[in-house]
Structure formats: C-alpha cells, structure tokens
C-alpha cells in the first residue's frame, strides 16, 4: 500500500499516456486518463492525515527535526539560547488536512460507502483539531516563557506582563476547545473501519489524551501568573505610597497584594492535578514564588502596624510631657502671684501662714501686758 499511496498522494488524478501500438495499425498516439476510484481517494486522504498526525506525534516527543513537515529550521526543538521555547509550524500539517478533506469529498462523489467516508472524515476532524491544539498550546507556552523571563529583572513591567499573559490565556483557551473537538470526533469515529484502512487512530487518540495534560498545565500557569502579576503591581503601588508617607494607603495595597499572591498559590496548586509531568516543576516554581511574596507582603503589613504602635506611643509620651510642663508652669505662676501679694502687704516674700499666726499671737500678748500695767 505504501508505494500506491505515495503515487496517489502526489497527484489527485493520475494521467497516463498510452503508447500507440503498431499492431493496431495506428501510427498516432492515443491518449487516455485514469480516474482514481473511491477507495483510492480514501487511501489518499488517510495517507495525508497519517503524515499530519505523525508530525504532531514527533513534536510532542521532541523529535521535530526529523519530522516530514518540520522544515529546515528544526521545528519542535528549543530555540537557540532559550530552552523553554519551542516552535511548531502548523502550516504543512494543515495543508495535508485540507488535501485529505478534498480527497474524502471526491471519494464520496465516486460512490464510496458512507460509513467509510464518515469514519475517515471524523479522523480528519480529529487530526485537524489536534494540529490546531498543539499550535495554540505552543503559542501559550511561549508567551508564558516571555513573562517568566521578565521576572528576572528588578523592575517588572506589570502592564506588559499582563498583556502577554492575556495572549497566553486566549491561546490556551483555544487549545482546549481544539482538543475537545478532536476528542469528540475520534470518540464518535468507527475505529475498526479506520484500523482497516491503516489510519493511525490509536496513536492519535493517545496523543490527544496526553495533550490535555499540557493544556491543563498551561492554563494553570496563565491564570496563576496573571494573579501573581496583579500582586506585584500591588506591591509596587504600596512601595510608592510608603515613599510618599501614605502609610494607611500602603497597608491596604500590601493587603490586596497578599490576597493576590494567596490566590495565585492556589491556582498553581490546583493545576497540578492532571497536569503533564513536564510542567510540574513550572507549577511548583509559581507556587513557591507566590508563597514567598505572600509572606513578604505580610511582613510589610506587620512593619506598618508596628510603626502605628510606635507612633501611638510617641504621641502618648508627648501628651504626658505637655501636660506635665503645663502643671509645672501653673505652679510657678501661683508662687509668683503669692509673692507679689505678700510684698504689697509689707511682709517679706516667702512668709508663711504659720509665721503670720506667730506674730499675731505675740502682738496680742503685748497688748494684754500694757493693759494690766495701766490698771
């Protein structure tokens, strides 16, 4: 079947020249055409789909440099200088899927059995959905790698990171839709008929299941880091507010950031269930980053609370000191007023009430003595 499939896959319609035969007494060449049968067209379709499915399989296994649709740039391998990024050129596999659909239509027009047509068409839907899903999940993964690189610097552009994460989220959502469509198509296909025409049904079904684990991981990373970046934005705002001595506002910003980091940690943790093994470490890194900044934000909040306590204590001490100075000042004023009063009355400054009573008592005794003498 391989040789026949190759020839039919090269041309949709094979035209063969029929050489003139002298035995027939005809010196002119007769021309004729050969039209592939319905079975031939289905074979062409399956061959094209198998090749497209093989390119996806090789990409997933990291063997993209030797794939039939990968091109000279080594599709499926990490780009130079960055082991996190991978490229997948879906154009050639998509061309194969398109060619397969045309061959299926020709087979149907030529009277192919409807059950066979339906089975191969669903196989085409499964391959096409898988190709699209891989392309989208690769785009999402590369956008995430760009954001991850931005975390290496001291000054993180949160607006740019959020925009890139939005692209990753859009791509991962599309990948999930594509994967679900492929899974539905394959589940409804007649696998026995596909096996009979040598479709790579089992391998494709397994690849679609594996692909889901990558989509789950990419979705978790996209959502988790989107929340994480919101927390970083809150910390940056809080730091500006501290510099401006807006401490109450800074506390609120740190509190909001802490909440974001806590939510991000939960997103990373939840995504670990059902994720592909290759993405476990990436999710763990996100979880650890979120936990660290959660604690950092809590520490800043504690510092601001401590500052409030110190400020309250300082204010209380100042109030007590002011009150004490006022009391001392009032006592001194009363003492000065008393001295002025004593001076106006002809008494020495500082004379006490006890000394006044003693003088009055002696004066009375002298008056009494003079009275008795005069009697």
pLDDT at 136 over 50: yes
Per-residue model confidence (pLDDT) at position 368: 41
pLDDT at 360 over 70: no
Q: How far is CA 82 from CA 12, 104, 142, 145, 264, in A?
A: 42, 42, 10, 9, 25
DSSP letter for 29, please.
Answer: P
pLDDT at 331 over 60: no
Q: How far is Cα 260 from Cα 268, in angstroms, rounded to an integer? A: 12
> Which tokens in the block code for residue 241?
């507010």
Indicate whether this model's pTM tops 0.85: no
Average pLDDT value for residue range 217-240: 95
Q: How far is Cα 246 from Cα 252, in angstroms, rounded to an integer? A: 10
pLDDT at 280 over 70: yes
Percentage of residues of the chain with pLDDT beyond 90? 55
Per-residue model confidence (pLDDT) at position 28: 44
- Write the DSSP string, 103-124: HHHHHHHTT--HHHHHHHHHHH
Read off the pLDDT of residues 14-53 as tens digits, 9 standing for 90 and up.
Answer: 222 222 222 233 434 445 566 778 889 999 999 999 999 9
Q: pLDDT confidence of 306, banded at 50, 70, 90? A: confident
Query: Which of 67-76, 95-104, 337-346 ranks highest by mean pLDDT?
Result: 95-104
Q: How far is CA 304 from CA 95, 218, 234, 254, in A?
A: 62, 37, 16, 10
Q: pLDDT confidence of 152, banded at 50, 70, 90? A: confident
Percentage of residues of the chain with pLDDT beyond 70? 66
Read off the pLDDT of residues 157-178 as tens digits, 9 standing for 90 and up.
Answer: 999 999 999 999 999 999 999 9
Per-residue model confidence (pLDDT) at position 213: 94
Name which of 24-28, 86-90, 357-361 the model is least confident about: 24-28
Q: How far is CA 276 from CA 71, 111, 237, 299, in A?
A: 27, 44, 36, 35
Average pLDDT value for residue range 81-101: 82
Query: Which of 63-72, 105-114, 258-267, 342-351 ranks highest by mean pLDDT?
Result: 258-267
The bridge status of strand 78-79 relative to strand 30-31 is unpaired
Per-residue model confidence (pLDDT) at position 339: 58
Three-state secondary-structure class, residue 137: helix
């Amino acid at each position: 079947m391989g040789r026949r499939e190759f020839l039919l896959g090269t041309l949709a319609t094979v035209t063969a020249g029929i050489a003139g035969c002298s035995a027939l007494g005809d010196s002119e060449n007769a021309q004729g055409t050969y039209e592939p049968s319905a079975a031939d067209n289905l074979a062409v379709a399956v061959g094209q789909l198998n090749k497209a499915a093989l390119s996806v399989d090789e990409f997933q296994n990291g063997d993209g440099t030797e794939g039939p649709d990968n091109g000279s740039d080594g599709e499926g391998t990490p780009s130079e200088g960055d082991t996190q990024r991978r490229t997948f050129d879906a154009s050639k596999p998509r061309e194969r899927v398109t060619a397969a659909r045309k061959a299926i239509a020709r087979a149907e027009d030529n009277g192919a059995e409807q059950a066979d047509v339906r089975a191969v068409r669903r196989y085409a839907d499964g391959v096409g959905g898988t190709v699209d899903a891989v392309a989208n999940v690769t785009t999402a993964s590369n956008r995430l790698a760009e954001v991850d690189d931005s975390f290496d610097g001291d000054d993180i552009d949160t607006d740019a990171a959020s925009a890139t994460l939005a692209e990753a989220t859009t791509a991962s959502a599309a990948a999930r839709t594509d994967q679900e469509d492929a899974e539905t198509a394959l589940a409804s296909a007649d696998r026995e008929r596909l096996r009979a025409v040598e479709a790579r049904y089992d391998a494709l079904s397994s690849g679609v299941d594996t692909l889901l684990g990558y989509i789950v991981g990419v979705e978790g990373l996209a959502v988790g880091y989107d929340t994480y970046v919101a927390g970083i934005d809150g910390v940056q705002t809080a730091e500006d507010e501290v510099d401006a001595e807006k401490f109450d506002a800074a506390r609120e910003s740190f509190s909001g950031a802490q909440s974001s980091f806590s939510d991000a940690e939960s997103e990373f943790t939840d995504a670990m269930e059902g994720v592909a093994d290759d993405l476990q470490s990436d999710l763990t890194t996100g979880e650890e980053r979120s936990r660290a900044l959660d604690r950092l934000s809590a520490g800043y909040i504690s510092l601001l609370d401590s500052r409030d306590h110190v400020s309250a204590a300082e204010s209380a001490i100042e109030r007590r000191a002011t009150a004490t100075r006022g009391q001392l000042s009032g006592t001194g004023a009363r003492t000065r007023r008393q001295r002025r009063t004593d001076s106006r009355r002809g008494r020495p400054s500082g004379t006490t009430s006890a000394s006044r009573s003693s003088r009055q008592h002696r004066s009375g005794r002298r008056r009494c003595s003079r009275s008795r003498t005069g009697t």
